[in-house]
A and B are shown apart, each in its own frame.
Chain A
Amino acid sequence: MSDLLELEGLHVAYGDRLAVPGASLTVGAGESVGLVGPSGSGKSTLVAAALGLLPGEARVDGGTARFRGEDLLAASPGRLRALRGAQIGYVTQDAMRALNPTMRAGRQVAEAMTVHGASPPRAAERLGELLALVGLAAEHADAYPHELSGGQRQRIALAAAIANEPDLLVADEPTTGLDVVVQRRLLDLLSGLRERMGLALLLISHDERVVARLCDRVQRLGPWGQPPSPVQPVRPAAPRAGRGDAPAYENPHASAYGGSHPPATAAPLLELRGVSATYRRRAGRGRAVPALREVDLTLRRGEIVGLVGRSGAGKSTLALLALGLIAPSAGEVRIEGRPLAALGRRARRQQRSRMHLIFQDAYDALPERLTVQRVLAEPLVIQGRRPDREGLADALARAGLRPAEAFLGRTAAELSGGERQRLALARAIAARPQLVVADEPTSMLDPDLRIELIDGMRAARDRDGTTFLFITHDLVLARRVCDRLVVLAEGRVVEHGPVEQVLATPCAPETRTLLEAAL
């Protein structure tokens, strides 16, 4: 098999900091290769370097990059542009934001064809085929990105990347942030496209399960800053239906976390009684869309309750309600037996300082220019406590950011997505709140780190008696950490019970769908 893409000993540096210490990678024609490595290991940087897409401050220090034997590092910017999008399709990381918010989706797909010489009518004609190929309807072409769901946006980006029938498709974390069901469909789509178009696939992911599903071979990058590690020996192709083989990851159908659960008699901390919430589509008027319908839920002290469901099921709405950040349109939220709505301004503020939200988007949730130390200290300052350096470092270590001392002085802007998520948890741990609502806190992490983060959560529960509402679509994690599991579908609680019981004998069809979609 001739090699399509060959990267050898590629060295990339940001200023004087090494980002990729000499990595090698080959992708043969028609082959499917997974590139995995922990967050911050330079996976995206490696590919960006080869395609001439490094940001200004980064540069390639050594090594070679060839596409069909052509030296990419010596190629002119114009030549690279001609390759990108034509022979090499590239779906960049964070495809949720890969689309221009002020341009209709269809035009963004058509653009990929017109810049490579297709006439506008020809591009418009092919647009319909492409949308059908990625499983979208023709009407989606007229939508603006904000009118599309995450999965749909991902498909639009994919349509643009394959528009010119490339020989190689590079997909960088194509499923991050998507719920399991959508994730599964997208992976099926990718493998279908591969077969139909005969293209080679380079799949960058921190999630070994994703790679195992789709790839013939896996190449690993070592953790950031380590000396150049030789590329791992090629692993035999995983069987289609095979589960990922990351050691810490278990099959959701297999053994569960055997630790102690808090007694069911513990005092209730948070109670939702017949809570409903509605949104209005347009400011002021428009149809009211129900997001939650008559939800009953009790969180006892020291309990970790998992909340699972597809995107749009009402998980985030429930989180906001639990924290009193939005008011229910019907029903009542009680904290320590008192209705949240009856608290005065002061009491409510005090209550809020004892609750903590870990946001889904670790990029938006952290101020870029504050140091890690200040980010961690902020909730303590709000509570009127004095942050001490050791305590903050300890929280960092518990969330898996080590050596903690080295991180304290950095700014959030210098952290990778996974590191930001760990910082977000560290902030919650440092604040020692009563209640933590964690909304997809591990979506950007690789499996080992997920486990570590989850264990950090459990340690915080054991030490401080913190109650967790853990929102996730990762059933493996839910099984490992949660005492109870609540399944939401279309704003209703469809199943509810001890985690082993729900996963072992799922009753609701939705639970079964989620289980089947789990990789």
Chain B
Amino acid sequence: MTRLLSRKLTQYGLVLALVLVVSFALPRLAPGDPVTYLLGPEEAAALSPADRDRVAGQFGLDAPLPAQFVDYVGGVLSGDLGTSVRYGAPVAEVLLDRLPWTLLLVGGAGLLAAALALWAAVAGARRPGARDTDILGGVLLLSAIPPFFLGMLLLAVVSAELGLLPAYGASSAEGGLLGLDVLERLLLPLVTLTVTTTAVIYLIARTSLLTELSQGYVRFARAKGVGERAILRSHVLRNALLPIVTVFMVSFGDVLGGAVVIETVFAYPGLGSAIYEGVLARDFPLLQGALLLVAVAVIAANALADALYATIDPRVRRTGEVPA
């Protein structure tokens, strides 16, 4: 177990190192630079190289690239992510400000989607045939709607036309994650993100349940006189969970990606819209910080999945490998 653990930790360490390089390089590979954004194209063009360096120097962006990278890595290790070009505030502060909203949105949508997917899959598995295919068709149809389109549709109908819910933002007054207004504003983006996330998990859950239902132990449970409900609950679900957990954790990255689009559509002040604004502003420090945070979150999700396997399946405990 200790050897397994150290191997896993090494793997995660390697991925993190790679993430550091990519999150540093990616924003800088895009055309444009922060100075042009701050001063506007004409003024930036009129600037002397020395002045340009001075502006960039405020954010530590005047040094040669290797030095910037060393700065970045050193900063990450000491907890300092630099200063945002767009907000003029420490990146860590900007991100921490945004994080709770995204957690609320992504976490809520993820859990909701998993619950819905599982419920739909179980409902279908319980009555294979017509009902199962109806559910399958319905989920596929819903998942075929692009998230930005669904978001705009909801905005246009629910907020603009019917005036039922506010159209943007996350809360009406400053402070406080709790309150009705938070829920009101969360609802539309949450629905949008949930709808787009459900399909992947549902498809895997359905296949997994159907596969498990055809296994010998299900047949034997029936031979013992166990009812179909109990078979699903106490035998099949746990065995079916392994691939579902995998997909849920892997799709976590996709959900965060979806959040970028949806937060932008709903002007929701989460990490996603921060990334979007960071891209527009060529805000290198903000972008690299946000990418790093997202990557760490995805790695953490995968680590959690690894730990969950062993809890779910006793065979994994022994060999450390997922059985086929």
Contact = CB atoms under 8 A, between A and B. Distances in A.
Interface of A: 51, 53, 55-56, 81-86, 90-103, 111-112, 115-116, 144, 146, 157, 160-161, 281-285
6 nearest A-B pairs in the assembled complex, by CB-CB distance? A85-B225, A97-B216, A98-B220, A90-B223, A85-B224, A284-B3
Given A90-B223, A100-B221, A103-B235, A144 B321 contact: no
Given A100-B239, A101-B314, A102-B313, A53 B223 contact: yes
B15 to A, nearest CB: 21
B79 interface: no
Given A56-B128, A97-B215, A81 B239 contact: no
Interface string B221-239: 1111111001000110011
B219 interface: yes
Given A84-B222, A101-B217, A144 B314 contact: yes
A33 to B, nearest CB: 18
Interface residues of B, number: 32
19 contacts: A84-B223, A84-B225, A86-B225, A92-B220, A95-B220, A97-B217, A98-B216, A98-B219, A101-B315, A102-B238, A102-B239, A115-B225, A115-B230, A281-B318, A282-B1, A282-B318, A283-B319, A283-B320, A284-B4
Given A102-B239, A144-B315, A284-B4, A81 B320 contact: no
A92 B223 contact: yes
Contacts of B323: 101
Nearest to B219: A92
B200 interface: no
A86 B226 CA distance: 11
A55 B210 CA distance: 13
B314 A98 contact: no
A283 B4 contact: yes
Contacts of B234: 103, 111
A98 B318 CA distance: 21
Contacts of B1: 282, 284
B176 interface: no
Interface in B74-97: none
Nearest to B216: A97
A112 B313 contact: no
B313 A101 contact: yes
A101 B221 CA distance: 13
Which of B3, B224, B227, B315: most chain A CB closer than 10 A? B224
Nearest to A172: B223
A490 B238 CA distance: 37
B312 interface: yes
A92 B318 CA distance: 28
B222 A53 contact: yes
Given A102-B312, A282-B1, 16 more contacts: A56-B129, A81-B225, A84-B222, A85-B225, A90-B224, A92-B219, A94-B216, A97-B216, A100-B221, A111-B226, A112-B224, A115-B224, A115-B230, A160-B224, A282-B318, A284-B3
A281 B318 CA distance: 8
B220 A157 contact: yes
Contact of B239 (A51, A84, A86, A101): A101
Nearest to A143: B314
Contacts of B235: 100, 103
A161 B219 CA distance: 13
